[in-house]
Structure 1
Amino acid sequence: MRRLLPILSCLLALVAAAAMASEPPPRMLIFSKTAGFRHASIPAAVATLQQLAADEGLAADHTEDAADFTPANLARYRVVVFASTTGDVLDAVQQNAMEGFMRHGGGFLGIHAAADTEYDWPWYGQLVGAYFHSHPAGLQSTRITPEPKGAPWSIRDELYNYRSNPRGHVRVVATLDESLYQGGTMGKDHPITWCHPFDGGRAWYTGLGHDPAVYTDANFLSMLRRGLRYVAGRSNDC
């Protein structure tokens, strides 16, 4: 019997490994429907998110069909991304499905114009953290300062102002320096990326991502990767 124990242990390990290998990878849904302005950077955002997902062992689906927002379909996903969505993109039934997704521990990741979306859905405004207010004309350069510590880095992008400062309701991940460009309206404390637990799930948002070139910026990609890991429940560091 003692001779059989090592053999049985090996067999059980092989069975467990085979079961794990047969399990489908967790999934991420990238949603980029627009009902207002459409960003030329959406293809770059989708491709970048798909690559980050693959690096993290997630399967990524891309859709612009709001009909995919049903409880049964969203239950297949660990993360839902709003990639520069604009305007009113979900109806009331679809909104309820998204709320249920978060309440069951889902993760939300918003990029750039995700803050320019669903102004008449208060729950969504709390989820994303702050609504878009305005932006200066064109692309401008500024300095991004990570919080609570980290080396500042420079970026050139369209720089959003928000209707309110989310600090106090979210954990600010990075701020930008209004003194280095024209048209900022938020003053010395201008959050541009943040995260927070929300309604049973996790949410992360960045206002960067207007310019397709941003998706080749190593600092931005590193920040986006941390955000993805946070909302997927793989890290508490966002």
Structure 2
Amino acid sequence: MKKSLLAVAAGVLMAAGAHADSQYKILVLAMPSKYHYEYIPLARESLERLGKLHAFEMTYTNKPEAFDGDLKQYAAVMFLNTPPEELNEARRRKFEAYMQGGGNAMLVHRSLIIPPNTWPWYEKLIGRRTGNHPMLQTGVVDVADKNFPAAFGLPDHWIWSDEFYVFDNPYQIRINTVLNVDETSYDPTKIWPGQVAHGMGKDHPLSWYHYVDKGRVFVTALGHDGNMYRDPQYLSHLMGGIYWTATGKGIRP
């Protein structure tokens, strides 16, 4: 009898130890676009697994109505391959107020594309204006900042296949580059008939962070293909971005 009671007590303690209180909560807006929709269920599954592993809560949605609620409950808001112009004027103002009040944002791949002058505040949030991009190719991504959490799980030189977006900086915003792509490792001019593409040269960032208003902003241009959301290194990159964006911690001196 005593052994049975001890076994039950031990089981209760183990279950209690296995449960971890959530450290923070994030909102992930994952809306489909013409070329980005198959990633949605794959990304959700992987992000939910990261949430369980790293003890954070996540609201994952493809409904912009999520911005009608209380954004202050979220440590960070992630635009995951979401066309930002899909937010109406009222929701844009709501998100701006969230950032001005100390909120934080994480912007992934397709979320970096918005028609020029559609929402200038958002372009400044990105830190760059996205132009066109060459065809998806395999290239070499170099870690520019080994001390930032989104680079911790990556090799110094990473073979990666993606759409290597081209950027300019009309607002002269300073960013802290985390990943850079080596343009000698692919063809920056390889594009569809009738279009013209140019590279950016030696300084071609793909991921960076900076600060806007009172908030933190992490940006990664990587993440075109749905299968990437099953890749351990890419998920490590995303998790490092989530961790810093939500908490402000992890940057090594």
The residue aligned with 2:159 is: 154
Aligned mates of 1:216, 1:93 — CA distance in 2: 35
Evaluate the alpha carbon distance shift between residue 159 and residue 166 of structure 1 in structure 2; reply closer, same or farther with a 3 A threshold.
farther
Contact (CA 8 Å) 1:165, 1:191: kept in 2 or not?
Answer: no
Aligned mates of 1:24, 1:48 — CA distance in 2: 17
The residue aligned with 1:116 is: 113
Alignment of 1:1-238 (within 5 A): 26-34=24-32, 37-70=35-68, 72-86=69-83, 88-117=85-114, 119=116, 120-137=118-135, 139-149=136-146, 151-164=156-169, 169-183=174-188, 185-237=199-251
Q: Deviations over 1:180-217 (max 9, x none)?
A: 11125211110000011211111101010001232233
Cα RMSD, aligned residues only: 2.7
Aligned mates of 2:78, 2:115 — CA distance in 1: 15
3-state SS in 2 of match to 1:231: helix
> Which structure exhibits the higher relative contact order, with contacts defined as CA atoms closer than 8 Å and separated by 6 or more residues?
2
Aligned mates of 1:224, 1:166 — CA distance in 2: 26
3-state SS in 2 of match to 1:96: helix
3-state SS in 1 of match to 2:125: helix
3-state SS in 2 of match to 1:102: helix
Deviates more, 1:85-94 or 1:203-212: 85-94
3-state SS in 2 of match to 1:106: coil
The residue aligned with 2:11 is: none
Letter in 1 for 2:233: N
Q: Deviations over 1:159-199 (max 9, x none)?
A: 21123399961111110111111125211110000011211
3-state SS in 2 of match to 1:69: helix
Q: CA deviation at 1:118?
A: 6.1
3-state SS in 2 of match to 1:189: coil
3-state SS in 1 of match to 2:107: strand
Contact (CA 8 Å) 2:124, 2:173: kept in 1 or not?
Answer: no
Evaluate the alpha carbon distance shift between residue 181 and residue 166 of structure 1 in structure 2; reply closer, same or farther with a 3 A threshold.
farther
Q: CA deviation at 1:112?
A: 0.4
Contact (CA 8 Å) 1:79, 1:232: kept in 2 or not?
Answer: yes
Contact (CA 8 Å) 2:31, 2:37: kept in 1 or not?
Answer: no
Aligned mates of 1:115, 1:52 — CA distance in 2: 23
Q: Post-superposition, which runs of at least 4 consecutive aligned residues in structure 1 deviate over 6 A?
A: 21-24
3-state SS in 1 of match to 2:247: coil
Letter in 2 for 1:45: A
Aligned mates of 2:167, 2:44 — CA distance in 1: 24
Contact (CA 8 Å) 1:175, 1:189: kept in 2 or not?
Answer: yes
Contact (CA 8 Å) 2:124, 2:171: kept in 1 or not?
Answer: no
Alignment: residue pair count: 217
Aligned mates of 2:20, 2:245 — CA distance in 1: 24
**Among the aligned pairs, what percent are the same residue?**
28
Unpaired runs of 5+ in structure 1?
Answer: 1-20
